[in-house]
Amino acid sequence: MSSPILFVIVGKNEPLFEAEIDTHTGTTGGNDLSTRQNYFVLHSALDLVEKSAWTTNSMYLRVVDKVNHQQVSTFLTAGNIKFMLLHGGKGEEVVRSFFNEVYGYYVKLSMNPFYKYDTPITSLAFENRVRAAARAYLC
Amino acid sequence: MSRMATSNILDRPLGRSSGRGGSSSEGSVVSLSAFAYVYSELVQYHQGRAASISELERRLESAGYGVGLKVLELVAYRAKETKRETRLMSILHFVSSSVWKALFGKSADSLERSIDHADEFMIVDYEPITSTFVSVPPDLGQLSADAYVSGIIAGVLDGAGFSARVTAHSVNVEEGEYTKPQGGNVVTGLPARKDKAVFLVKFSQEVLARDAALER
């Protein structure tokens, strides 16, 4: 089952962080065509996220979009930063736990006085931890 | 030669400031005098570089804005409820109680809605720590040193998606308005202040329109 998982953090204007995780090897991978398609699917779900963002006051928005056999799940932080996950049908609880862990890392990252809110995340430590969490919860 | 192990910021715990009572065993409380010293340096730094009163206020506000954005995320995370605020009144309550408690150790003294304008709200603090030790010389007129706090409020509101213009004003305290114990300021031992800080929050039109649409 080669369904790579795509995790993107989107700010108000642009993506802040992207990680593609291959369920088999746990590293980046996948050919270019499916990668581009995945990005497209995920970004087109942003409209739906915006729409449902104001109707609920919970942070975890569950599955907002279903395309073919893939689903887009979203988590919204208090500062309206969107964590989006494109996956092939993982269970709700695993996805929620993954989001909570990444949320913790994100809040800690934003405590860095040199990290400006809504700017791309370039920290390698952050990326390593996100990948480790993905391997732990989603593989 | 030994070196202190530096831990990555992502590994350090974020603390539970809302769980404990007043005193904290983890030592995450900063003394008022330390804050007052650092803040006075901040104000002097900007004062030396600003050409006018409004520019100084703008500089203080933008200094507080970044703090507000981060405080929003931190306080929401520590509350551990995975809930965001989507309504106007609830975000204002969040600011005047949770954010104020996290920053100053007490809730804001009052939250009021303006009668003349539907989009204006006022958060009142009788003893804002940013101006407790500040005396404004007459040639600086209406400057409020609490512009830093209004920047924080603006950061919190903007981050949550409620863009607003926040300004700080010093208003004289009426007789009998104060319900503090007699004998002046219990925190610092200074005599009671003659003016309170009022933070005027003016929301932008689209925020009000969106909130009205959600009402239905």
Model pLDDT for residues B174-184, shown as the tens digit of each residue? 766 655 544 44
Structure tokens belonging to residue A4: 């790579």
pLDDT for position B65: 93
At B165, which amino acid appears? Answer: R
The Cα of A119 is separated from the nearest Cα of chain B by a number of Å equal to: 12
Q: Coil, strand, or helix at residue B120?
A: strand
Residue B194 has pLDDT above 80, yes or no: no
* Phi/psi at A133 (5° precision): -65, -40
Cβ pair A80:B161 closer than 8 A? yes
- The model's pLDDT over B95-120, given as tens digits with 9 standing for 90+, comes to 889 888 888 888 888 888 888 888 89
Q: In which order are the strands placed within the sheet that holds B110-113?
A: B110-113, B120-125, B195-203, B164-172
Cβ pair A111:B70 closer than 8 A? yes
Buried residues in A82-119 as b, exposed as e (16+ CB within 10 A): bbbbbbeebeeeebbebbbbbbbbbbbbbeeeebebee
pLDDT for position B70: 92
The alpha carbon torsion through B118, B174, B56, B30 (nearest 10 deg) reads: -100
Specify whether the CB–CB gap between B159 and B69 falls below 8 A.
yes
Using CA atoms, how far apart are residues B177 and B80, in angstroms rounded to an integer? Answer: 36
The Cα of A17 is separated from the nearest Cα of chain B by a number of Å equal to: 16
Mapped to the 3 state alphabet, what secondary structure does A34-72 carry?
HHHHHHHHHHHCHHHHHHHHCCCCECEEEEEEEECCEEE
The ipTM (two decimal places) reads 0.85
Specify whether the CB–CB gap between B161 and B112 falls below 8 A.
no
In DSSP terms, B165 is beta-bridged to B202
* Phi/psi at B122 (5° precision): -130, 130
pLDDT for position B183: 42
Mean pLDDT, rounded, for A88-100 = 86
Mean pLDDT, rounded, for B6-32 = 61
Using CA atoms, how far apart are residues B201 and B88, in angstroms rounded to an integer? Answer: 11
Residue B19 has pLDDT above 50, yes or no: no
- The separation between CA B194 and the C-alpha centre of its own chain, rounded to angstroms, equals 20
The Cα of A14 is separated from the nearest Cα of chain B by a number of Å equal to: 15
A53, A78, A125 member nearest B72 (Cβ): A78
The Cα of A60 is separated from the nearest Cα of chain B by a number of Å equal to: 7
- Residues of chain B with Cβ-Cβ distance to A104 below 8 Å are 14, 77
Per the prediction, chain B carries an average pLDDT of 81
Q: How would residue B5 be classed by pLDDT, with cut points 50, 70 and 90?
A: low
Mean pLDDT, rounded, for B84-99 = 87
Using CA atoms, how far apart are residues B46 and A125, in angstroms rounded to an integer? Answer: 34
Q: With an 8 Å Cβ cutoff, is B210 touching chain A? A: yes
Q: Coil, strand, or helix at residue B169?
A: strand
pTM: 0.85
Chain A residue nearest residue B207, CA to CA: A54
pLDDT for position A26: 45
pLDDT for position B184: 44
B77, B83, B161 member nearest A107 (Cβ): B77
* Phi/psi at B173 (5° precision): -80, 130
Using CA atoms, how far apart are residues B189 and B195, in angstroms rounded to an integer? Answer: 16
B12, B14, B159 member nearest A79 (Cβ): B159
pLDDT for position B25: 39
pLDDT for position B180: 53
Mean pLDDT, rounded, for A80-85 = 90
Chain A residue nearest residue B79, CA to CA: A78
Q: How would residue B156 be classed by pLDDT, with cut points 50, 70 and 90?
A: very high
In DSSP terms, B195 is beta-bridged to B172
